[in-house]
């Protein structure tokens, strides 16, 4: 039954963080720390206030970066380099996931609110390099982040991807709302399911879910 729901899909869009690697790797904990450090230095704030602002901007703007750009006019490029300067030692290659992605029919892309160079390093650490036709970071949407629909529209237009024949895999449920509105199949990749009209499927095991699509 799952495969039937994807028989029309020829475009496969994958988020990166906590989607193409398990949340237990806690990679984003390092990024959160570096974002807070950046806010402290840039705005001359104590750590508790910088951490509060980091979370507030993420909730209000989609990313901390978007809030810093909107409210403080920061240059996004140094920020993206700084916050993604982390260790990838917690990531392990996943040959099963690689095989499942390789088996998908059609075009496969990564779209992240991080930067494309960062995504490439994550994919390399996971043994997923060379499996995707394109890798898009927030810079490719003019630094406009998910969940804003205009960000998705910019990426899909650049890729010439038709949402009506595409699927979106994403750990953050709010980032599936716009893809759903645009006609995509939506898959929430997370330890716990969330019942919502814009979520078609849930999985806590991405390789297994992908195996159901090509069986």
Q: What confidence tens digit (pLDDT) does each residue in 173-195 have?
A: 999 999 999 999 999 999 999 99
Q: What is the CATH number of domain 27-83?
A: 1.10.150.450
- Sequence spans of domains, the chain: 3-22+92-213, 27-83
| Beta carbons within 10 angstroms of residue 194's beta carbon | 11
Structure tokens of 194? 């969330």
Residue count of the chain: 215
Q: Top-level CATH class of 3-22+92-213?
A: alpha beta
C-beta of residue 30 within 8 angstroms of C-beta of residue 86: yes
C-beta of residue 153 within 8 angstroms of C-beta of residue 124: no
* Residue 214: predicted pLDDT: 86
Pairing of strands 134-136, 166-170: unpaired
* Residue 134: predicted pLDDT: 98
Q: What is the pLDDT of residues 62-91, one digit of tens each?
A: 999 999 999 999 999 999 999 999 999 999
CA distance 88 to 98: 18
Residues lower than pLDDT 50 in the chain: none
C-beta of residue 99 within 8 angstroms of C-beta of residue 77: no
* Residue 1: predicted pLDDT: 77
CA distance 209 to 215: 10
* Residue 63: predicted pLDDT: 93
């Amino acid at each position: 039954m799952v495969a039937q729901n994807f028989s029309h899909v020829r475009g496969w869009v994958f988020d990166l963080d906590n989607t193409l690697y398990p949340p237990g790797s806690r990679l984003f904990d390092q990024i959160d720390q570096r974002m807070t450090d950046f806010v402290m230095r840039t705005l001359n704030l104590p750590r508790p206030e910088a951490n509060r602002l980091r979370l507030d901007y993420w909730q209000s703007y989609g990313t901390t970066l978007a809030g810093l750009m909107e409210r403080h006019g920061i240059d996004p490029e140094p920020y993206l380099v700084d916050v993604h300067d982390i260790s990838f030692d917690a990531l392990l290659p996943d040959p099963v996931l690689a095989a499942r992605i390789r088996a998908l029919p059609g075009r496969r892309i990564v779209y992240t609110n991080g930067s494309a160079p960062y995504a490439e390093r994550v994919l390399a650490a996971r043994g997923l390099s060379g499996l995707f036709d394109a890798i898009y970071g927030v810079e490719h949407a003019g630094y406009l982040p998910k969940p804003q629909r205009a960000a998705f529209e910019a990426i899909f237009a650049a890729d010439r991807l038709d949402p009506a024949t595409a699927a979106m895999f994403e750990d953050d449920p709010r980032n599936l709302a716009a893809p759903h509105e645009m006609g995509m199949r939506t898959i929430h990749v997370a330890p716990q399911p969330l019942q919502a009209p814009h979520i078609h499927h849930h999985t806590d095991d991405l390789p297994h879910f992908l195996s159901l699509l090509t069986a």
